[in-house]
Amino acid sequence: MFLIVGLGNPEKKYEKTFHNLGFVAAGDCAELLGAKFKKRECEASVAEGFVGGEKIVIARPVTYMNASGRAVKQLIAKYKVTPGELVVLYDDFDLVKGHLRIRPSGSAGTHNGMRSVIAEIGFSDFARIRIGIKDPDVEVSILDYVLSEVKKEDYPLFSDACKRAAEAALALAKGENFDLVMNRFNG
């Protein structure tokens, strides 16, 4: 059993914002598995697939970003997921746009969605895949930036980053060595 959670906001108006890249990457995971987001449970939209006979649950919380932890906590309880069976995908303002950073644990940094997840589940030793969004040429507040739409000229960059994040999440779900996955996808 493995749980992959992509963080974002559920409304259509947020669909193309930086803060929804976790949702996009979760969608890419589902697509790679041939799975569809068919059901809603634990305050999340959920898709299910299999890798090597192991069940993979992919979720997009519908609680809005700052309350994402509620859904993650419910999903962990329902599926009896251990910290080693959880990976969270999300945007990161502190990482250069298009770059990935995969880590086995850590803090929430400046990300309110991750703060919610860690506070609700009570541990931080789970895999996280951060998708960099920082544009050194843009000077606005973090809140205004993360809720702004990705520029059309950057679509290919972020589309590729989300696909790579999905591939990395599925590599971890397959049981590939964490260090090797980090070496292959970080950067």
**Cα angle value 160/65/83 (rounded, 5°):** 80
DSSP string, 62-111: SS-GGGHHHHHHHHHHHHT--GGGEEEEEEEEEEETT-EEEESS---TT-
SS3 56: strand
Strand runs (DSSP E) across the chain, as ranges? 2-6, 39-41, 44-51, 54-61, 86-96, 100-103, 127-134
* Max Cα-Cα span within the chain: 47
**Torsional sign, CA 130, 143, 5, 75:** positive
Q: Answer for the pair 128, 103: CB distance below 8 angstroms, yes or no.
A: yes
Q: Answer for the pair 156, 122: CB distance below 8 angstroms, yes or no.
A: no
Point out the residues that are catalytic.
19
Q: Which residue reads 């999440």 in tokens?
A: 169
